[in-house]
Amino acid sequence: MKYVILVGDGMGDYPVDSLSGRTPLEAAKTPNMDWIVEHGEVGRAKTIPDGCEAGSDTANLSILGYDPAGVLTGRGPLEAASLGIELSSADVAYRCNLVTLSGQEPDVVMEDYSAGHVSTDEARALILDLDRGVGNDTFQFYPGVSYRHIMVWRDGEMDVNTTPPHDITGRAVGPYLDRMGSSEPLLELMHNAASLLKDHPVNRRRMKMGEKPANNVWFWGQGNPLRITPFKEKTGLSGAMISAVDLLKGIGVYAGLDVINVPGATGYLDTNYAGKVKGCLRALQEVDFVYLHVEAPDEASHSGLLDEKIEAIEAFDEKIVGSVIHGLKA
């Protein structure tokens, strides 16, 4: 028996007045998911256990059969694993967003948690310069994809009150920085990073083109290394992970899955859907199951873009669900 898990991350939502009380998923045209409903079995699962914060880390671990409350320390170490970063038990990996902050003190606002979805090439240049300019033996920066990166605090502080930047878009950041006040080293690092990024050539070029500058970093999602039983040891099944984002790749690393890197997978609407499907079908020749994850609906949700969210759901249905069904029938 072969298995495929297709995840359209963030597709769920609340009813929207402009959609006549429907959710984006209800409003989207999804003939292939409808076909599965008609010809398969439908169930409901609670992927966010009581007491756990809602997030892609929690939900995707749950889908794979892990108890987030028992294994999850934070998303940082998962993303670090995807990047091949070695952590000791005392090291703390923080998710490091490149963000756009606007306004003047004390009214600085989180304008964009993704710095306008800064490109991976631009972001890499910024993060490497941050590591050279403000990093040291204690604080180390590692480039990831687009705005998503890692900062490792060697022998660092775990108990810091951090906030996901996508949860505070359009809000003043002062109160959330105050919550981090117990960790003066982190606040100083952010201040130094802002000074370096302010006049960086990448940001000067972006502003000249009318794009949002990546003018600061934002730390959150910290954790120590996880202890997870390999998936095959739990289930007897071999598997593979396909995703654009380091969080899911890191889950794959910890779970002992084959992590398949698809060229052109971006985590957004312009991702390489065909490449993901091709990788899935090819992997099924070697392993028992494939976990194919698409980030685009979640990104549109965090940005508050209803039309793009519906577009992302419809693209997932057509280019992932439909193509996988067709490939499995062939």
pLDDT single digits (tens) 21-72: 999 999 999 999 999 999 999 999 999 999 998 899 999 999 999 999 999 9
What's the domain range around 15?
3-72+227-329
> Which of 223, 244, 268 corresponds to the end of one domain?
223
Can you give the pLDDT at residue 181?
74
pLDDT in tens, the chain (330 residues): 999 999 999 999 999 999 999 999 999 999 999 999 999 999 999 999 999 988 999 999 999 999 999 999 999 999 999 999 999 999 999 999 999 999 988 899 999 999 999 999 999 999 999 999 999 999 999 999 999 999 999 999 999 999 999 999 999 999 999 988 778 999 999 999 999 999 999 999 999 999 999 999 999 999 999 999 999 999 999 999 999 999 999 999 999 999 999 999 999 999 999 999 999 999 999 999 999 999 999 999 988 999 999 999 999 999 999 999 999 997
pTM beyond 0.85: yes
What is the amino acid identity at position 170? G
Cβ atoms of residues 198 and 192 within 8 Å: no
Residues 39 and 124 placed together within one structural domain of the fold: no
Residues 56 and 102 placed together within one structural domain of the fold: no
> Which of 205, 223, 241 corresponds to the end of one domain?
223
Can you give the pLDDT at residue 330?
78
Number of domains in the chain: 2
Residues 273 and 318 placed together within one structural domain of the fold: yes
> Which of 190, 223, 256 corresponds to the end of one domain?
223
Cis check for the bond before 106: say yes or no (omega within 30 of 0).
Answer: yes
Instruction: Give residue for tokens 């130094």.
Output: 192
Residues 89 and 12 placed together within one structural domain of the fold: no
Question: Among 211, 214, 218, 208, which Cα is nearest to 166's?
Answer: 218
Query: How buried is 292 (Cβ within 10 angstroms: 0-12 exposed, 13-18 middle, 19+ buried)?
Result: buried
CA 97 to chain centre: 10
Residues 231 and 172 placed together within one structural domain of the fold: no
Can you give the pLDDT at residue 192?
98
The Cα 133–Cα 125 span in angstroms is 12
Residues 210 and 237 placed together within one structural domain of the fold: no
Residues 87 and 40 placed together within one structural domain of the fold: no
Can you give the pLDDT at residue 13?
95
Q: Which residues contact 210 (CB under 8 A, 6 or more apart)?
A: none
Residues 60 and 125 placed together within one structural domain of the fold: no
Residues 97 and 158 placed together within one structural domain of the fold: yes
Residues 214 and 90 placed together within one structural domain of the fold: yes
